[in-house]
């Protein structure tokens, strides 16, 4: 059974992350099932991954294992906030997050179990928690997507920080409520300090950015030519190519991977952690192991066009190999300052 979540609004108070109007589960006439018990062949997963992307994989997991997934979908930051608000009363067994920062936020509250090393060792150390609380299951690069009719390769910026300059005024699509954008801003703080992050956000705001609800809308507008460039994750272009029955190379929209270890080239992970209420639940552990298994890793590469994190699985077509990307020297474990990052973004005026 798959249960959608209505979107809630995450706000910040001085004491930390608060949620006003917690996410409601399901529709008005749809009852939410009681959380399962250990080994009863059902788990509740809070999913910050888009339902359209991840639901087919959850169905594959159920078909292979007989374990029913009660999935609750919402924005990753909202779900992290909800988990913190619910505490040990949360019905969630597993948190499947869009980025490492949200996983780190929940981990800081000591809400996750320590996963067995036989599980976490399937992913490189770069893509897992040092304390074993979470593990990445797929990787994605931050990129600048651009319309080749509007922007030439010679005009592309060498650094993401150039996008606050006059040449890009009114031309840059951003999604400030998206977890990946928030993690990118956190990465600026980690790599360059909070003052630089504030400066970038203020410069972006002053440069008439084209604010959108998500990466998908940014890409749609870039393809249409209404926005010349946008900051997104790399895999969205593969999805569009698949929908149109073509290849990434044949599309008007192109991907610019920032060179030289620029913060704009951050490689983040979608990852998973098991809540303490499911510490002894073999079904929750089976879910994590499945996501790191060959079927799921191949699904990420071929269907969602993300980079698999497990060695031996071929990466997505139409993009550079993960090992060839010039990524910034940032430890994903340090991206756990979700509350302060959201506060910086709100302070900048990019979101109301």
Number of domains in the chain: 2
Q: What is the pTM of this model?
A: 0.88
Q: How far is residue 193's CA from residue 197's CA, in Å, rounded to a whole number?
A: 7
Closest by Cα among 350, 328, 343, 325 to 257: 325
Q: How far is residue 228's CA from residue 172's CA, in Å, rounded to a whole number?
A: 7
Q: How far is residue 150's CA from residue 6's CA, in Å, rounded to a whole number?
A: 37
Are 277 and 339 spatial neighbours (Cβ–Cβ below 8 Å)?
A: no
Q: Tell whether 102 is covered by a domain.
A: yes
The domain spanning residue 259 has which CATH number?
3.40.190.10
Residue 252 CA, distance from chain mean position: 25
Which segments are annotated as binding site for Fe cation? 235-236
11 and 34 co-located in one domain: yes
Which segments are annotated as binding site? 235-236
68 and 135 co-located in one domain: yes
Ramachandran sector of residue 228 (left: φ over 0; alpha: ψ -120 to 50; beta: rest): alpha
SS3 content of the chain, % helix, strand, coil (to 5): 40, 20, 40
151 and 186 co-located in one domain: yes
DSSP 28: T
65 and 189 co-located in one domain: no
CA distances from 23 to 6, 17, 243, 253 (A): 6, 15, 30, 35
- In terms of residue numbers, what domain contains 190? 140-266+339-348
109 and 17 co-located in one domain: yes
pLDDT in tens, the chain (352 residues): 333 333 333 333 322 333 333 343 333 333 334 555 667 899 999 999 999 999 999 999 999 999 999 999 999 989 999 999 999 999 999 999 999 999 999 999 999 999 999 999 999 999 999 999 999 999 999 999 999 999 999 999 999 999 999 999 999 999 999 989 999 999 999 999 999 999 999 999 999 999 999 999 999 999 999 999 999 999 999 999 998 999 999 999 999 999 999 999 999 999 999 999 999 999 999 999 999 999 999 999 999 999 999 999 999 999 999 999 999 999 999 999 988 999 999 999 999 8
86 and 221 co-located in one domain: no
164 and 249 co-located in one domain: yes
């Amino acid at each position: 059974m798959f249960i959608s979540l209505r979107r809630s609004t995450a706000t910040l108070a001085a004491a930390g992350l608060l949620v006003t109007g917690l996410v409601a589960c399901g529709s008005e006439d749809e009852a939410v099932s009681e959380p399962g018990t250990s080994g009863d062949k059902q788990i509740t997963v809070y999913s910050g991954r888009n339902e359209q992307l991840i639901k087919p994989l959850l169905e594959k997991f159920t078909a292979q294992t007989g374990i029913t997934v009660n999935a609750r979908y919402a924005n990753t930051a909202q779900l992290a906030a909800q988990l913190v608000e619910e505490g040990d009363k949360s019905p969630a067994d597993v948190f499947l997050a869009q980025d490492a920062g949200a996983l780190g936020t929940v981990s800081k509250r000591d809400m996750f179990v320590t996963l067995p090393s036989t599980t976490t060792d399937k992913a490189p150390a770069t893509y897992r928690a040092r304390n074993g609380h979470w593990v990445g299951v797929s990787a994605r690069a931050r990129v600048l997507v651009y319309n080749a009719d509007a922007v030439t390769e010679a005009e592309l910026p060498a650094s993401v920080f150039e996008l606050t300059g006059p040449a890009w005024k009114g031309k840059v699509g951003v999604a400030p409520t998206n977890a990946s954008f928030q993690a990118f801003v956190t990465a600026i703080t980690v790599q360059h300090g909070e003052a630089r992050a504030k400066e970038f956000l203020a410069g972006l705001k002053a440069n008439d950015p084209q604010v959108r609800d998500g990466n998908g809308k940014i890409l749609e507008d870039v393809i249409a030519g209404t926005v010349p460039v946008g900051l997104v994750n790399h895999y969205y272009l593969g999805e569009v190519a698949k929908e149109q029955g073509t290849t990434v190379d044949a599309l008007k929209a192109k991907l610019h991977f920032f060179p030289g270890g620029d913060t704009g080239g951050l490689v983040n992970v979608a990852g998973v952690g098991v809540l303490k209420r499911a510490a002894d639940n073999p079904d929750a552990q089976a879910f994590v192991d499945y996501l790191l298994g060959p079927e799921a890793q191949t699904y990420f590469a071929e269907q969602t066009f993300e980079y698999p994190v497990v060695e031996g699985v071929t990466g997505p077509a139409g993009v550079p190999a993960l090992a060839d990307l010039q990524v910034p020297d940032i430890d994903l474990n340090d991206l756990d300052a979700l509350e302060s990052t959201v506060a910086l973004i709100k302070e900048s005026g990019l979101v109301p």
